Amino acid sequence: MTSPEDEAAIEALRNAKVIAVVGLDTRAGRTAYQIAAYLQGAGYRVIPVPFQQPADEVLGEKTYPSVQAIPGHVDLVDVFVRSEQTGRVIDDAIAAGAGAVWLQQGIFNDTGLARAREAGLVVTQDRCTMVDHQLFII
């Protein structure tokens, strides 16, 4: 069972074309890489925003230092950083005018998501984009 807010997040994922993945780098064994590769294979444009491991390109896409630095609109920001590090990522997504902020499984920030919600972004936390794509979209 999902809440109305979770339903809105699933709808945001369904309608997204461009997903910024914060915390994505070249380490193929990491969850962020595997989920981003899945999303890319599902037809989304995945834009890497490395957090601790800088790289010029990941999964064939140029990387950016922040969501705000990405040219064009970002539909969804998929976040793979520790909960305590999400505040600045959420603020970056708000400033960039992104459509949604999605904190992956095990990642929480009620205060930050309240800011994003107030700014008009769709928000969710502790959910996996890949799992929800498999359950609700394909």
Provide the number of structural domains found in the chain.
Answer: 1
Scanning the chain, the segments in alpha helix (DSSP H) are 4-15, 31-41, 86-96, 110-118, 129-132
Residue 1 pLDDT: 58
Query: How far apart are the C-alpha atoms of 108 and 112, rounded to whole Å?
Result: 9
54 pLDDT band, cuts 50/70/90, is: confident
- Residue 82: give its domain's CATH number: 3.40.50.720
Query: What is the average pLDDT across 14-36?
Result: 97
**pTM for this entry:** 0.97
Instruction: Identify which has the larger pLDDT, 51 or 80.
Output: 80
Burial readout 84-99 (b: 16 or more C-beta within 10 A, e: otherwise): eebeebbbbbbebebb
Query: What is the average pLDDT across 32-58?
Result: 95
Reading the block at residue 34, the tokens are 């595997």
Query: What is the average pLDDT across 127-133?
Result: 98
pLDDT digits (tens, 9 = 90+) for 12-23: 999 999 999 999
pLDDT digits (tens, 9 = 90+) for 69-97: 999 999 999 999 999 999 999 999 999 99
Reading the block at residue 50, the tokens are 């490395």
60 lies in which domain range?
4-137
The set of residues, in sequence order, having a beta carbon less than 8 Å from that of 19 and lying 6+ positions away, is: 39, 44, 45, 46, 47, 74, 75, 76, 77, 78, 129
Query: How far apart are the C-alpha atoms of 53 and 43, rounded to whole Å?
Result: 25
Residue 138 pLDDT: 86
Residue 128 pLDDT: 98
